Structure 1
Amino acid sequence: MSGQGTRNSPLVLRPGIAEAPIYVPGAHGDEKDGVPPAVLSANENPLGPSPQALDAYRGSAALERYPDGGAEKLRAAIGEKFGLDPARIVCGAGSDELITLLIRCYVGPGDEVLQSQHGFLMYAITAKTVGASAVLAPETPDLLCDVDAMLAAVTDRTRICFVANPNNPTGTYIPASELRRLREGLRADILLAVDAAYSEYVDADDYSDGADLVRDYDNVVMLRTFSKAFGLAALRVGWCYAPAAVVDALNRVRSPFNVSVPAQVAGVAALGDAAHLDRSLRENKEQRARLVGALSQLGLSITPSVTNFLLVHFADATSASAANAHLSAKGVIVRSVAAYGLPASLRMTVGTAEENDRLLSALTDFLA
């Protein structure tokens, strides 16, 4: 998709929109010779959604009815599952929508959004659409968010500081103590947005998804999603936990029926199926360890990950591009992360055992 038509239009766009790049999602590939691709490009749950969520989705057939605009039952279920006050939860069409709404609420022309160097692309893209700019703070050599570098990058124009914890595409996280140190080092008028989309996968004792900071401060938001561990990416449902003032602002700017009925009922059902979530996390952990071992034996370097994906490093950008093309030709779809400033690396979702077999076979062939 090109912005050429936008630039040639006689209509006047708001500042920044024409300059904002269009987000390119991970490809899903095509079936070849009757064999579906091994899709390891978008960090989806390879086991799919909970059977209970599927049943709820299929039973939501009253298509003539509007959704519950406040997602009351879904917010109540989230609150019960995570021990949070439903009144401080806002649901959205994926956490992407909530990122957009936060920026619409608190960022304008000339402002800055702060993030780590290899953070999620949508923070910077969305900032541009409101006439703001993104400031990318350097990460540590091992691709961790560097709190000192983040704080050093703050200016009088900083309005939101986004921290993906764990981070996509690196798979790394910073401990609760560092996340709190970041909040304490920011001005009171800077919103700290903790994007915890992959939090379900983390079992480290020193990890925080940011909920404790939301309770302790009035300028922190935690973002979550049903797209990853819960396997509901197609339905686009996410949520945030926020101070009352932020909740009020988000409810003023969001669309009145922004989460569909199928998304709401499937989300409630997914939260109630602890067995499926446990299985998803257990198998991910087992397969992730297997992939790390096998990829290391192939001579590849992997950034330690606490998520459902691995950042795999090649000798240079040319090698990474060639590996990506070879995998694609073999029906294995992974993600280039050149747009994230990591041209010599590829991001690979942890798939099923069979999908991972295909990945390892194709990489072995490429490296032979």
Structure 2
Amino acid sequence: MTIVSDILRPQPKAGILDISAYVPGKSGAKGAKVHKLSSNESPIGASPRAVDAYRAAAGTLELYPDGSASKLRQAIASRYGLLAENIVCGAGSDELLQLLAHAYLSPGDEAIYSQYGFLVYPIAIQSNGATPIVAPEKDYLADVDAILARVTDRTRMVFLANPNNPTGRYLPFSEVKRLHAGLPRNVMLVLDAAYAEYVRKNDYEAGIELVATFDNVVMTRTFSKIHGLAALRLGWAYCPAHIADVLNRVRGPFNVSAPAIAAGAAAIADQEFVERAIAHNDIWLPWLVRELETLGLDVTPTVGNFLLVHFPADKEHNAHAADAYLQENGFVLRRMDSYGLPGALRLTVGTEEANRGLIDSLRTFLK
């Protein structure tokens, strides 16, 4: 028998096998009816206009999509008063984050993200040979001073989720501007505003103003959350012209499908549906916070459509035990071990039925 050495088979680039693979939220449970509350999806679905547009696109599946996604970019530009040529669309904002890292990070470079930042950031950084630098947070909130203290002459990029997933906390615009002002102009600030539409705070800004004013800021957004189009994998970035040009050089020529383009354009134009989604969240997010705190659980302050819920340390009622119990009863939440938060579960705001049922199950579990 011939033994073939590992050295003789194809090997990935240095550092790839050091990456911890991203593990998405679970989709199933053992209960008769499953309430998936693990992935921050919309509890009211997608706009009927978006669904109709998607179905209409099924009649021309033999044709390649518009490689520039011009209809979608123009719809986004019209909604927010932006320059369409500065918008780049992608297969979810995840792809755009990866493209930014691919185009601007090289071996020897460094990129910074906050302690409980989105796990796609270190994957994007490491997969391009750069070194991820973690800045500690204070009370589950990104710390501008900690980020700036870690900037070196090797720093090329700073990722900031605002609001942050999974903590739900946000930095006011004054702090974001202070962060940007402290960065060298050759360092790109990437503002990941996936949950921007849910924020009801006067001191919040998603990043459009900074992108319009400076050459080193990019804002990414998604259709997966408030627009309810997670299955289509659709996102967009608003960039200075020179960065948009770079992204258009490295992205796939048809990276957004025709049904996604059609559905996305319809969804972003349906502001009435967006307001319905916001109104649902405005009712049930505070309700869940009150009910969870009444049960004696700690909840990190949040402005998104999800909550970070902290459980007692005792074995009988800890987060792992709670997760197992809830799955037995048909409620799927997100474990936070991969974020370094084994004592917490992340809970998506669900339908009224799901929200009330979850609280009833937790009440029984915590007795």
After TM superposition, the score normalised by the length of structure 1 is 0.95
Flag the 1:154–1:29 CA change in 2: closer, same or farther, 3 A.
Answer: same
1:346-365 deviation line (CA, Å, top 9, x unaligned): 10000011000121111111
Aligned to 1:118: 116
2-side partners of 1:86 and 1:199: how far apart?
20
Asked if residue 346 in structure 1 is aligned to residue 328 in structure 2, the reply is no
* Stretch moving more, 338-347 or 12-21: 12-21
Secondary structure in 2 matching 1:171: coil
2-side partners of 1:261 and 1:32: how far apart?
37
Aligned length: 359
Per-residue deviation, 1:118? 0.3
Q: Once the two structures are aligned, what percentage of the paired residues are identical?
A: 52
2-side partners of 1:113 and 1:163: how far apart?
11
The 5-angstrom pairing of residues 187-226 of structure 1 reads 187-226=184-223
Aligned to 2:363: 364
1:92-125 deviation line (CA, Å, top 9, x unaligned): 0000000000000110112111011000000001
Aligned to 2:133: 135
The 5-angstrom pairing of residues 1-368 of structure 1 reads 10-30=9-29, 32-33=31-32, 35=33, 37-61=34-58, 62-140=60-138, 142-316=139-313, 318=315, 319-368=318-367
2-side partners of 1:202 and 1:148: how far apart?
24
Judge conservation of contact 2:41–2:224 (CA < 8 Å) in 1: yes
Moved segments of 4+, more than 6 Å: none
1-side partners of 2:194 and 2:173: how far apart?
16
1:288-318 deviation line (CA, Å, top 9, x unaligned): 0110010010000101110000001112385
1-side partners of 2:298 and 2:309: how far apart?
6
Secondary structure in 1 matching 2:99: helix
2-side partners of 1:262 and 1:118: how far apart?
34
Per-residue deviation, 1:31? 6.6
Judge conservation of contact 1:15–1:109 (CA < 8 Å) in 2: no
Flag the 1:253–1:317 CA change in 2: closer, same or farther, 3 A.
Answer: farther
2-side partners of 1:313 and 1:18: how far apart?
32
1-side partners of 2:108 and 2:320: how far apart?
36
Flag the 1:28–1:219 CA change in 2: closer, same or farther, 3 A.
Answer: same
1-side partners of 2:363 and 2:30: how far apart?
22
1:317-356 deviation line (CA, Å, top 9, x unaligned): 8511111111111110000111111111110000011000
1-side partners of 2:348 and 2:294: how far apart?
18
Judge conservation of contact 1:317–1:344 (CA < 8 Å) in 2: no
Judge conservation of contact 1:138–1:149 (CA < 8 Å) in 2: yes
Flag the 1:10–1:226 CA change in 2: closer, same or farther, 3 A.
Answer: same
2-side partners of 1:123 and 1:51: how far apart?
33
Per-residue deviation, 1:9? 6.8
2-side partners of 1:157 and 1:317: how far apart?
44
Judge conservation of contact 1:67–1:261 (CA < 8 Å) in 2: yes
Secondary structure in 1 matching 2:132: strand
Flag the 1:292–1:72 CA change in 2: closer, same or farther, 3 A.
Answer: same
Judge conservation of contact 2:30–2:329 (CA < 8 Å) in 1: no
Which one-letter code corresponds to 2:333 in the other structure? Answer: V
Per-residue deviation, 1:8? 7.2
Structure 2 residues not aligned, in runs of 5+: 1-5
* Stretch moving more, 163-172 or 353-362: 353-362
2-side partners of 1:233 and 1:258: how far apart?
16
2-side partners of 1:21 and 1:302: how far apart?
27
Secondary structure in 2 matching 1:114: strand
Secondary structure in 2 matching 1:213: helix
After TM superposition, the score normalised by the length of structure 2 is 0.96
